[in-house]
């Protein structure tokens, strides 16, 4: 990994809705809205000659489809979308993949990303299932928040992800893809999403980073009822250390959120160091036993609002579990079903 001491942002502003910015020859950047605190997702469109290759798609909503239709009638006019590559299975990245497939596009994804999305789009729940309730209680969710959530329809993948037809083209660690007139090496990240694809151009010093490589925010590392003993923090740290060996100062990173940037060696050190720092603070804080929900202040060092509560809770659980897997804390089940974590004596 190169040295490097600063992040650079070649573009101060993102493209407007329905417009694109050319960030490299044959590579266009567009931005789509999201109805949440992180209010956007970046997508990229690569010139494949006879067609376009879309990298990530935004939510599967009427508003997002309308913006894509504006793009297809405007800066992308004259050629079809022939391929869609999704970096990972989260709905803001795969939401309209099936919509493009229905129009004849090939879907390219890691096997885990496709399987996760395919499973979740079929798993529609009108109310949170018992396993989710038990998991929320185990994290120490505020009783008022728990009562409210148990009475509401939960977030369902199918609400914002178009149906995924059968069939996809698999990529994995070591795959080489020809996209937009360049050869790209596929390198797999983890932690934020299992088998998250990043693509590193052999020509032109470009990286399609998805949510694995972000400049000014860190992606959420969460544990959920689907795998309540997972250790995404360990997965994240391993992936960051491994990907750091490919980081060079001049590479232009095209991320899933915020602005494209240079200075990847520094950013990799920050992404690793931020979590080691959080873990050290958490271990010291747990000299007094606490639930995951009690740890928001020490982990995030800011006030957590209602819009961020769910993501904060699953990330706090992830950090407590990482310390537990490492033998640095113990846990005991409280009478109300919450795990209480304590620093190892």
How confident is the model over 31-45, as pLDDT tens digits?
Answer: 999 998 899 999 999
Answer whether 225's CB lies under 8 Å from 205's CB. no
pLDDT in tens, 133-154: 999 999 999 999 999 999 999 9
Residue 27, C-beta contacts closer than 8 angstroms, at least 6 positions apart: 44, 45, 46, 47, 180, 206, 254
Domain membership of residue 305 (yes or no) is no
Sign of CA pseudo-dihedral 97, 98, 99, 101: positive
Share of the chain above pLDDT 90, in %: 96
**The tokens 């995924």 sit on which residue?**
164
> What 8-state DSSP symbol labels residue 38?
S
Domain membership of residue 78 (yes or no) is yes
Given a cut of 80, whether residue 73 has pLDDT beyond it is yes
Domain membership of residue 208 (yes or no) is yes
Strands (E), 151-221: 169-171, 176-179, 182-189, 196-201, 206-210
Given a cut of 50, whether residue 77 has pLDDT beyond it is yes
**The tokens 């010139």 sit on which residue?**
47
Residue 1's pLDDT band (boundaries 50, 70, 90)? Answer: very low
Q: Taking each helix axis as running N to C, give the angle between helix 232-244 and helix 309-325, from 0 to 180 degrees, rounded to the nearest 10.
A: 80
Arithmetic mean of pLDDT, 23-30: 97
pLDDT in tens, 165-203: 999 999 999 999 999 999 999 999 999 999 999 999 998
Domain membership of residue 6 (yes or no) is no
Arithmetic mean of pLDDT, 290-305: 96
Instruction: Give CA–CA dist 317/146, Å, rounded.
Output: 16
Domain membership of residue 273 (yes or no) is yes
Average of per-residue pLDDT values in the chain: 96
Domain membership of residue 329 (yes or no) is no
Provide the residue range defining the domain that includes 139.
Answer: 21-285
Domain membership of residue 90 (yes or no) is yes
Q: What CATH number has the domain bearing residue 219? A: 3.60.15.10
Structural domain count of the chain: 1
Please give the backbone phi and psi of residue 286, each rounded to the nearest 5 degrees, phi first.
Answer: -80, 15
Domain membership of residue 293 (yes or no) is no
Answer whether 144's CB lies under 8 Å from 171's CB. no
Both tokens assigned to 34: 């999201």
Residue 204's pLDDT band (boundaries 50, 70, 90)? Answer: confident
Instruction: Give CA–CA dist 268/209, Å, rounded.
Output: 12
């Amino acid at each position: 990994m190169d040295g490097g001491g600063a992040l650079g942002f070649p573009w101060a502003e993102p493209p407007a809705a329905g417009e694109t910015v050319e960030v490299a020859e044959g590579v266009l950047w567009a931005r789509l809205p999201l109805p949440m605190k992180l209010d956007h997702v970046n997508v990229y469109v690569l010139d494949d000659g006879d067609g376009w290759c879309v990298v990530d798609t935004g939510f599967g909503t009427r508003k997002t489809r309308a913006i894509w239709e504006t793009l297809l009638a405007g800066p992308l006019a004259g050629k079809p979308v022939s391929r869609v590559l999704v970096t990972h299975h989260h709905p803001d990245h795969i939401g309209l993949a099936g919509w493009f497939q229905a129009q004849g596009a090939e879907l390219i994804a890691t096997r885990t990303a496709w399987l996760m999305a395919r499973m979740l789009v079929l798993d529609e729940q009108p109310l949170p299932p018992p396993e989710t309730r038990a998991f929320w209680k185990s994290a120490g969710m505020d009783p008022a928040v728990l009562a409210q959530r148990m009475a509401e329809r939960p977030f369902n993948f199918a609400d914002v992800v178009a149906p995924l037809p059968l069939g996809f083209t698999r990529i994995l660690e070591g795959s080489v893809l020809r996209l937009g007139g360049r050869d790209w090496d596929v390198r797999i990240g983890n932690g934020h999403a299992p088998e998250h694809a990043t693509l590193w151009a052999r020509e032109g010093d470009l990286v399609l980073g998805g949510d694995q490589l972000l400049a000014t925010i860190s992606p959420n590392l969460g544990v959920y009822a689907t795998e309540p003993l997972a250790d995404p923090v360990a997965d994240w740290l391993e992936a960051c250390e491994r990907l750091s060996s490919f980081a060079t100062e001049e590479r232009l990173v095209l991320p899933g959120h915020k602005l494209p940037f240079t200075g990847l060696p520094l950013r990799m050190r920050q992404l690793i160091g931020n979590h080691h720092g959080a873990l050290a603070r958490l271990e010291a804080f747990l000299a007094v036993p606490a639930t995951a929900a009690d740890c928001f202040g020490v982990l995030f060092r800011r006030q957590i609002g209602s819009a961020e509560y769910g993501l904060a809770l699953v990330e706090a659980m992830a950090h407590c579990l990482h310390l537990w897997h490492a033998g640095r804390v113990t846990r005991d089940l409280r009478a109300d079903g919450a795990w209480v974590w304590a620093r190892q004596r």
